[in-house]
Each structure stands twice: as structure tokens, then as C-alpha cells.
């Protein structure tokens, strides 16, 4: 099985999700999204496949998320494209779907 993980190696939840994928024997493509951010179109696709809104994928703990409190999906996607730190992590994609790995065990749903 192939999997892609939008990963931040400094994040414990992201490291846990990566470990779950590796333990499951998945062929994992690790994308450090802070170095190589996904395009706006890719983010929209990931959230649609996950059945979630961009707001649900917004890392609200970041100071830069405060001005987005009442923003719509398009504005949030635009902001994430400019500042990928606003993307909640980890996002995991397999042929079975996409999950936000919070908690990390949620990635098992798409293995």
C-alpha cells in the first residue's frame, strides 16, 4: 500500500502517524509540507476526500489563524497556501481516502 503524509518532523502527532504507517508496511511518501507546501488545489482536494472543510483543517493554535475566525473556505485555503504553518497536521492520503491524523490512530481507517 502506498501512502503520502504531509508531515512536520517536529510534531509528535505527525511522528506517531508516520510510525503507524511504517508499522503497517506502507510505502510512505513523506512530504515536509513546511518545506514543500501543497498547492491550493491539492489542499482543497485533500479536504474534500477527507470529507472535511478547510476550517476543520486550520491549525487554530497559530496566531496567524486568529484573523480567519469568521473567514470562509476560500479565504482559509488562500491563507494556508501563503502560510503552510496554518495547515493542521498530519494529513495522510492513501487510495482508500484522506484523514487528518488527530488522533494519529485515525490513519488506520484508510490503511
Active-site positions read 11
What lies within 8 Å, CB to CB, of 59 at 6+ separation is: 65, 85, 86, 87, 88, 89
55-89: string of b/e by CB count within 10 Å (b at 16+)?
bebbeeeeeebeebeebeeeebbbbbbeebbbbbb
Amino acid at each position: 500500500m502506498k501512502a503520502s503524509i504531509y508531515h512536520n518532523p517536529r510534531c509528535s502527532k505527525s511522528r506517531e502517524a508516520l510510525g503507524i504507517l511504517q508499522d503497517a508496511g506502507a510505502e510512505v511518501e513523506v512530504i515536509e509540507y513546511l518545506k514543500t507546501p501543497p498547492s491550493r488545489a491539492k489542499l482543497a482536494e485533500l479536504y474534500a476526500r477527507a470529507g472535511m472543510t478547510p476550517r476543520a483543517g486550520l491549525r487554530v493554535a497559530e496566531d496567524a489563524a486568529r484573523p480567519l475566525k469568521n473567514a470562509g473556505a476560500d479565504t482559509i485555503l488562500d491563507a494556508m497556501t501563503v502560510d503552510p504553518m496554518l495547515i493542521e497536521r498530519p494529513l495522510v492520503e492513501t487510495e482508500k481516502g484522506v484523514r487528518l491524523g488527530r488522533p494519529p490512530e485515525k490513519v488506520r481507517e484508510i490503511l
